[in-house]
Amino acid sequence: MASAFTDFLRLARTGVVLAQHGVRFVPAGMPTPWPLHLLRALTLPLRMLGWLVSPATSRSGRLSRALTSLGPSYIKLGQFLATRRDLISPELAEDLTELQDKLPPFSMREARRVVEEALGGKLEDHFVEFGPPVAAASIAQVHKAVVEENGVRREVAVKVLRPDVERRFRADLSSFFRAARLIERLVPFSRRLKPVAVVDTLARSVELEMDLRLEAAAISEMADNIKDDQNLPDGAFRVPAVDWRRTARRLLTIEWIDGIPARDIAAIEAAGLDRKRLGLIILRSFLRHAMRDGFFHADMHQGNLLIDRQGTVVAVDFGIVGRLGPRERRFLAEILHGLITRDYRRTAQMHFDAGYVPTHHSVEVFAQAMRAIGEPIHGRTADEISMADLLGQLFAYTDVFDMETRPELILLQKTMVVVEGVARALDPELNMWVAAEPIAKAWVEENLGVAGRLRDASDGAGTVGKLLMDLPALLQRAEGTALALADMARSGVRLDDDSIARLARAQARQTRASRWATGLAALVLAGLMAWIIHTGIGR
């Protein structure tokens, strides 16, 4: 009961803040349910106060500003929803692109405490210099430091988790789960998009991001994947080296990168670096990582890409990464290759082969849809063609052809939008399709040619062999399960009177608490979550 009341208070505060920022819960033209009419009436004074305080505030960005004011958990919620355009409307997704993950830094005293608890001893035992924070976000902040080994000094970047951030996230996630459960109960049409599962995905993502050893592992994995790429014509892409001796769950130490942020076009030009080459490196590196390795940096904005003195692109901040399985990689490569070569029938057939489109649809009709997407790009200039927009159009056909939503492909599209923007800022004339063609072609030849078929056959043989080796154990377990089920069928499942009484009391408590929470929180939850339901799930 205490937990339900605490969640209610958090959600009530959230509803107040959203109302104060004038967040529009229901887009124009959509019916407004009666709880929202009542909520708008109750919060009118707050909205008027917000307009008086910031009369010049634009309508766009209101949601981003509201979430920023609510703190780290809500910033992460907004960032997560920005990657799930299958759940929210384009209007909200555009608003959330303005969400900046920046917060005031915490004190040097707190940073010292985290370092010493993570590594043991004194901070000076591990770093000969430890400077003030150079960047601060919702989960962690970064310090520049110096280490000395065998008389050699080197500069490092030290990422330190915010104090007590884990507890704050757990508390807010509890209220998110409660809101999602109520939504599934009160709004039947929301259930197909599984609000509880969405919050669960967010919770797991944040849990991974708050273990900095996993970020170190992601950097290390990327380094292994690209170690042979430096000899490629466009292979000037790398990641920082990890200092594993000074890395722990709440602390990450990596090589310090002296570089120019990709957003600083003037500094890049002043350094005499080739902007066209850099744009090509960034685009092709991303595509190569996604298609060849199935593992890509999913937050490749301009601040996370640095250009060193040699003109090498260095990616930092691996808190968010994406993974694609073999099917998803084939999907991406075939889509790009099919649209580039105008082989729409093959592209459509690939969707059916991969199981993305149910078989009751026609391959020919789907090929027609692919042609509607692909034909407009031919004969147009480079600055008129957006690969990210075309992938967005492709994913928009998911509803028309009953295609199951693939979150990993939505994350891929979101990253593609960012990467395309970075590459085009460096080279406005970059033809995305010409740049992508050799990557897609190489993947298709490698994986769908003779070599790929032989490798697939080898993998298939290995799978069959493992199944044969495991067959006796599987049969033994199946026999045991069958005997247990037969015994249950004969004798039934018996509970003693005490167990039945305890179950009845627990059910009664749960029912009372559920009714109390539903009745008390429904109106305020409308204020918190209606912008998801009625602008995303309800469209």
Higher-confidence residue of 187 and 159: namely 159
- Claim to verify: residue 174 and residue 279 sit in the same structural domain: no
- Separation between Cα atoms, residue 456 and residue 453, nearest integer Å: 5
Residue that is last in its domain, among 451, 483, 508: 451
Q: The tokens of 464 are what?
A: 């069959």
Mean pLDDT of all residues belonging to the chain: 76
- Asked if residue 152 is part of any domain, the answer here is no
- Claim to verify: residue 268 and residue 336 sit in the same structural domain: yes
Mean pLDDT of 419-433: 86
- Among 283, 251, 290, which residue's Cα sits nearest to residue 145? 251
In this prediction, residue 502 carries a pLDDT of 59
Which residues are within 8 A (CB) of 297 and not within 5 positions of it... i.e. 6 or more apart? Answer: 222, 286, 289, 304, 315, 318, 320, 321, 322, 415
Question: Domain range for residue 67?
Answer: 2-102+168-207
**pLDDT digit string (tens) for 74-123?**
888 887 777 666 566 666 766 776 676 788 899 999 999 999 999 999 99
- Given 86, 172, 243, 299, which residue is catalytic? 299
**pLDDT digit string (tens) for 502-525?**
556 655 554 444 444 334 333 444
- pLDDT band for 384, please (50, 70, 90 cuts): low
- Asked if residue 123 is part of any domain, the answer here is no
Tell me how far apart the terminal alpha carbons of the chain are, to the nearest angstrom.
Answer: 35
CA atoms in the 13 A half-sphere facing the CB of 274? 12
- Asked if residue 467 is part of any domain, the answer here is no
- Claim to verify: residue 175 and residue 320 sit in the same structural domain: no
Reply yes or no on whether 299 is catalytic.
yes
Q: Give residue 326's region: left, alpha or beta (phi > 0; psi -120 to 50).
A: alpha
Angle of helix 450-491 versus helix 432-448 axis, rounded to 10: 70
In this prediction, residue 22 carries a pLDDT of 64
- Claim to verify: residue 95 and residue 16 sit in the same structural domain: yes
- Claim to verify: residue 172 and residue 310 sit in the same structural domain: no
**pLDDT digit string (tens) for 146-185?**
999 999 999 999 999 999 888 888 888 888 888 888 877 8
Is the Cα torsion angle 354, 359, 361, 365 positive or negative in sign?
positive
Mean pLDDT of 64-75: 81
- Claim to verify: residue 202 and residue 325 sit in the same structural domain: no
- Asked if residue 374 is part of any domain, the answer here is yes
Residue listed under structure tokens 């800022």: 425
- pLDDT band for 267, please (50, 70, 90 cuts): very high
- pLDDT band for 461, please (50, 70, 90 cuts): very low
pLDDT at 186 over 80: no
Q: Let me know if 155 is exposed, middle or buried by CB neighbors in 10 A (0-12, 13-18, 19+).
A: middle
Going by the DSSP 8-state scheme, the letter that residue 106 receives in this structure is P
Q: What is the number of domains present in the chain?
A: 2
What is the three-class DSSP state of 313?
strand
- Claim to verify: residue 388 and residue 314 sit in the same structural domain: yes
Residue that is last in its domain, among 420, 435, 451: 451
Is the Cα torsion angle 43, 48, 51, 54 positive or negative in sign?
negative
- Asked if residue 43 is part of any domain, the answer here is yes
Mean pLDDT of 47-73: 64
Contact 155, 146 (CB under 8 A): yes
- Claim to verify: residue 325 and residue 200 sit in the same structural domain: no
Percent of the chain with pLDDT over 90: 27
Mean pLDDT of 180-205: 76
- Claim to verify: residue 323 and residue 391 sit in the same structural domain: yes
Q: Let me know if 163 is exposed, middle or buried by CB neighbors in 10 A (0-12, 13-18, 19+).
A: middle
- Asked if residue 187 is part of any domain, the answer here is yes
Contact 398, 407 (CB under 8 A): no
Q: The tokens of 399 are what?
A: 């509803």
In this prediction, residue 77 carries a pLDDT of 82
Chain-centroid distance of CA 350 in Å reads: 26
- Claim to verify: residue 197 and residue 320 sit in the same structural domain: no
In this prediction, residue 489 carries a pLDDT of 52
CB burial of 452-489 (b: ≥16 within 10 Å; e: otherwise) equals eeeeeeeeeeeeeeeeeeeeeeeeeeeeeeeeeeeeee
In this prediction, residue 116 carries a pLDDT of 96
- Asked if residue 521 is part of any domain, the answer here is no
In this prediction, residue 406 carries a pLDDT of 65
pLDDT at 527 over 50: no
In this prediction, residue 465 carries a pLDDT of 47
- Claim to verify: residue 179 and residue 322 sit in the same structural domain: no
Contact 207, 215 (CB under 8 A): no
- Claim to verify: residue 282 and residue 352 sit in the same structural domain: yes
pLDDT at 242 over 70: yes
- Asked if residue 534 is part of any domain, the answer here is no
Going by the DSSP 8-state scheme, the letter that residue 63 receives in this structure is H
Residue that is last in its domain, among 414, 434, 451: 451
pLDDT at 253 over 80: yes
Higher-confidence residue of 225 and 344: namely 225
Going by the DSSP 8-state scheme, the letter that residue 160 receives in this structure is E
In this prediction, residue 268 carries a pLDDT of 95
